[in-house]
Amino acid sequence: MLEIRQENKNDYEEVYNVIKIAFQTAEHSDGNEQDLVVALRESNSFIPELSLVAVQDNKIIGYILFTKIEIEEYEELALAPLGILPEYQRQGIGTKLIEEGHKIAKKLGYHYSIVLGSDKYYPKFGYIPASQYGIIAPFEVPNENFMAIKLNDTNKKIIGVVKYAEEFEI
């Protein structure tokens, strides 16, 4: 049975390996996603409740992390990374991690989550080009790959350029 839960310190080594393996075959990867997670855990952008693992048969098979970003004066979220071990991909595990992350993010009061990713994958969760919300990437990227989702109903319109945690080195 699959369990989605908050990551703890005992998971760090296994999570590191899951991310490293998951991104070895990724279409777009710099090969450092696992090191980024290590750095983000030590940053002010880290939110422990939004660092989640997927566990099956006492083995971590997937991971997702949402960290704080700034858009003008607003604090919102970036989804990065999401990694599933190759042999467990296309079984709905990423979906469960994203849905649980969104549920927790809503409870914590965040309004938006952004992601740089596949325009074939993330739209099924409600992500649309971030530009439609007035949210702009701090780097050149195809509009369809820089996406956002509105997590909580809000009348405030956030318009501006995303400022990622410095650990992203953007």
Helix 33-41 × helix 12-24 angle, to 10°: 150
Best CA proximity match to 164, nearest among 57, 66, 94: 66
- pLDDT the model gives residue 29: 62
- CA-CA distance, 103 to 4, in Å (whole number)? 12
Looking at the predicted structure, is the pLDDT value of residue 170 above 90?
Answer: no
Whether the Cβ atoms of residue 50 and residue 79 lie closer than 8 Å to each other: no
26: confidence class by pLDDT, cuts 50, 70, 90:
low
Distance between CA 132 and CA 57 in Å, rounded? 41
User: What is the mean pLDDT of the segment spanning 134-149?
Assistant: 96
**Who wins on pLDDT, 28 or 114?**
114
* Calpha distance 99→102 (Å, rounded): 5
- HSE (side-chain half, CA atoms, 13 Å) at 69: 26
User: CA-based angle 119:120:125, to the nearest 5?
Assistant: 85
Does pLDDT of 27 surpass 90?
no
Of the listed ranges 32-41, 142-151, 161-170, the one predicted with least confidence: 161-170
Tell me the percentage of the chain whose pLDDT exceeds 70. 96
CATH of residue 116's domain is 3.40.630.30
Q: Convert the pLDDT of each residue in 98-125 to its tens digit.
A: 999 999 999 999 999 999 999 999 999 9
CA 164, 148, 9, 20 dihedral sign is negative
Q: Which domain holds residue 129?
A: 2-168
The total domain count for the chain is 1
Amino acid at 141: V
pLDDT of 10 higher than 90: yes
Question: How confident is the model over 36-94, as pLDDT tens digits?
Answer: 999 999 999 999 999 999 999 999 999 999 999 999 999 999 999 999 999 999 999 99
Q: How confident is the model at residue 25 (pLDDT cuts 50, 70, 90)?
A: confident
